[in-house]
């Protein structure tokens, strides 16, 4: 059985959805604990507009803190990645592409839903893809190779438009692949996916593009709003996917799915993800005891 690649996105996707403002030093400590848990990649932060996501306005401070604490805890560490929505974000990220806490991957993010694209990034799908063209050119002109992830949000459903046709996802993926991204990340943004919708999407994607045997293999990014994420992982493993995102302690929680009395779960909890992968007979590099420490720390940070 192949090894499954685990990315923990809690410092970015988890904390961007938390109302509490967490100190940069505490976020950096969470990243260190995730490194100790031997995940393959940590999505450390996001270089987006602080007017849109104030929780991540400290991207530079988090990376500077990590760089200051290296090399001892970070000698052999996971890949670090961060989101970049436009050239302005790339300008900020450039400072952090070298040094002990260097980012090895930048993640562009588009959507398969027009309404979500407007609400999340203030542009249509094609306008957002246009923004990526100069960003990609500049990344590819750098003296060393930086990997690029191309996220697609709302691959199953959109909080505003409802169900999204797999053909729309395939269309956006083909455009990102034509730009030269190294990986496509399929995001079930609101945790709407079920076994059936995941199977249908992956079947169509495999037929039209290919899931793993392409230059831009697929990672699956599940949110666990309705408790279906582990089922979807099993379906995806069957389909041949060997790369998944999770969030330690299930940090995050979709604001569209939360009620005043119950906070909806966020991304699939990384521990549930890893246990599901192991139970299906695959291996990971993750140390579950160390992951539990990271999870405990994450819960404390968001006071749960």
Site residues for ligand HMG per CB under 6 A: 13, 16, 46-49, 51-53, 83, 85-86, 88-89, 92, 109, 120-122, 151, 153, 187, 189, 221
Decide which of ligand HMG, Mg ion, none touches 258; Cβ closer than 5 to 8 Å per partner kind. Answer: none
Instruction: State the catalytic residue, choosing from 158, 232, 254, 293.
Output: 254
Quote helix, strand, coil % in the chain, to nearest 5: 45, 20, 40
Rank residues 83 and 271 by Cβ distance to ligand HMG and give the closer one: 83
Would you say 133 and 179 are in contact if contact means Cβ atoms under 8 Å apart?
Answer: yes
Is residue 254 part of the annotated active site? The answer reads: yes
Instruction: Give the shortest CB-255-to-ligand HMG separation in angstroms.
Output: 11
Rank residues 88 and 138 by Cβ distance to ligand HMG and give the closer one: 88
71: left (phi over 0), alpha (psi -120 to 50) or beta: alpha
SS3 264: coil
Element (H, E) at 30: helix 24-36
When asked if residue 269 is in the footprint of Mg ion (CB under 5 A), the reply is no
Would you say 55 and 10 are in contact if contact means Cβ atoms under 8 Å apart?
Answer: no
When asked if residue 13 is in the footprint of Mg ion (CB under 5 A), the reply is yes
Instruction: Give the shortest CB-115-to-ligand HMG separation in angstroms.
Output: 14
What burial class does residue 189 get, using C-beta atoms within 10 Å of its C-beta: 0-12 exposed, 13-18 middle, 19+ buried? buried
Instruction: Give the shortest CB-119-to-Mg ion separation in angstroms.
Output: 14
The residue whose Cβ lies closest to Mg ion is 13
In angstroms, the Cα distances linking 116 to 33, 49, 83, 160, 192 are 33, 17, 17, 7, 15
Instruction: Give the shortest CB-282-to-ligand HMG separation in angstroms.
Output: 23
Rank residues 37 and 222 by Cβ distance to ligand HMG and give the closer one: 222
d(CA 65, CA 71): 12
Decide which of ligand HMG, Mg ion, none touches 88; Cβ closer than 5 to 8 Å per partner kind. Answer: ligand HMG
Rank residues 13 and 41 by Cβ distance to Mg ion and give the closer one: 13
Indicate if the alpha-carbon torsion angle 88, 184, 223, 203 is positive or negative. Answer: positive
When asked if residue 185 is in the footprint of Mg ion (CB under 5 A), the reply is no
Rank residues 119 and 300 by Cβ distance to ligand HMG and give the closer one: 119
Tokens of 121: 């990034």
**Binding residues vs Mg ion (CB under 5 A):** 13
Give the residue numbers annotated as catalytic, written as ranges. 254
């Amino acid at each position: 059985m192949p090894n499954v690649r685990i990315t923990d996105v809690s410092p970015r996707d988890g904390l961007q959805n938390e109302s509490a403002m967490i100190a940069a030093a505490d976020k950096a400590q969470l990243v260190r604990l995730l490194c100790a848990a031997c995940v393959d990649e940590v999505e450390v932060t996001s270089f987006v507009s602080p007017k849109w996501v104030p929780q991540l306005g400290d991207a530079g401070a988090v990376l500077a803190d990590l760089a200051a604490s290296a090399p001892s805890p970070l000698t052999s560490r996971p890949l670090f990645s961060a989101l970049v929505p436009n050239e302005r974000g790339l300008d900020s990220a450039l400072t952090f592409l070298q040094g002990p806490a260097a980012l090895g991957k930048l993640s562009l993010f588009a959507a398969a839903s027009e309404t979500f694209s407007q609400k999340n990034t203030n542009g249509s799908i094609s306008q957002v893809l246009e923004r990526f063209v100069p960003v990609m050119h500049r990344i590819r002109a750098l003296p060393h190779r930086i990997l690029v992830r191309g996220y697609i949000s709302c691959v199953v459903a959109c909080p505003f438009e409802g169900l999204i046709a797999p053909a729309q996802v395939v269309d956006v993926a083909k455009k990102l692949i034509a730009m030269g991204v190294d990986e496509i990340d399929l995001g079930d943004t609101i945790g709407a996916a079920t076994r059936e919708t995941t199977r249908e999407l992956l079947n169509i994607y495999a037929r039209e593009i290919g899931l793993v045997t392409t230059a831009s293999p697929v990672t699956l990014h599940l949110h666990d709003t309705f408790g279906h994420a582990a089922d979807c992982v099993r379906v995806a493993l069957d389909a041949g996917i060997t790369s998944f995102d999770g969030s330690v302690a299930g940090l995050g929680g979709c604001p569209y799915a939360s009620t005043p009395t119950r906070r909806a779960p966020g991304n699939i909890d990384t521990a549930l993800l890893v246990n599901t992968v192991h139970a299906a007979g695959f291996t990971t590099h993750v140390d579950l005891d160390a992951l539990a420490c990271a999870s405990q720390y994450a819960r404390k940070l968001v006071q749960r």
